[in-house]
Structure 1
């Protein structure tokens, strides 16, 4: 059984790092059973020893103080006291001006105000300047050309488009077909009067006077009639001494 090299007490372990139960030393038991003291290894290793030159004495070594033992507050207080003493010198002593170099001139002379400038009167200057009239050529303003008015033919065509859009034919409410009636043989005023009465029927919604005024050489043409209006005119005018012809048209053609 291995024993402690320091106190000779028996060790319970056979290998590894152990502590002596008697003296508390840290020991290491080798594989061959030999016991090494860690304290001895540290001394034998020599890493903890400090090499001191011949010029340094023991007192000099003792004068070195570890940084861990220095209180940072003491250092700051000491530095602050030194800085405070360095600024105790009054400002007057630092910036004292010799008596012989003192300026005797009054403040007003040091900061002499510039002389007042005379007021500049624009009216006086203008009175001394002779005005000269210089004619300026101005280009005549060209008036915009008047917009050309729409001729009567274009207005009539546009009116026809509007009327067709508002008519029953364009909406095909009476069917997809329209009729054109051509009435011949309107030779007397009596026939013309009866025909005016037929066209004045409120159900037809026609301008009878305008249609009668278009009669030429006894011929009258009425266009774009829906089947109902064409039937009413033909049925009421069949007893008159006239000839009626009709044509059917597709509004999509």
Structure 2
């Protein structure tokens, strides 16, 4: 009988090597696979290439790996208020490919669907299409690596830029429920980038707050065909929540 559960977070990420590429779910601090990220941190894995909407905040989520100098390159849409991320980027310590958010979502979905590339109007007429976006700075502040120009074509009177699908070595995902086959249910806005990252990973590892023996077909948000391993969180792990910014009157 198929059962994709693993016993511990350490076991779940035990074969993630240095230099691996990772698609990591979450948006801000919502739906982030904190436990799996912490297991990678404890394992000492380094030289990682991450794909995620953002890189966490200082010391939390991917910010934990970032602060330890474990991320060599990242693809995302938002640097945000992560001061260490901004410092490393401007200081030439990390390569950063900034991508329009909708384009990033579609690149992950395309990669997971076996679609090598697609055309989109997002970015036409900007450095996204024309090239020259700083991917890496030199120590003197000059641009060491810049984005290349992309193919632009006209369709029915409009211009569209060619974007490539993303496939990564591994994906780290957070879900509300998982069954033994790896079928998943996500909790409201925690769905965000998680299904797309799960699709894009060659090996997809999920941390789930709850385990059920079998999800009903109508419940399933993402089928288990995309999932390789499931870590069922303890109540203490599942209860960990972070607030990115508190606003009080």
Q: Given the two structures, how large is their TM-score scaled by the length of structure 2? A: 0.17
The structure whose residues are more often helix, as a share, is 1
Structure possessing the higher radius of gyration over alpha carbons: 1
- If asked which structure has higher relative contact order (CA below 8 Å, sep 6+), I would say 2
Q: Given the two structures, how large is their TM-score scaled by the length of structure 1? A: 0.17
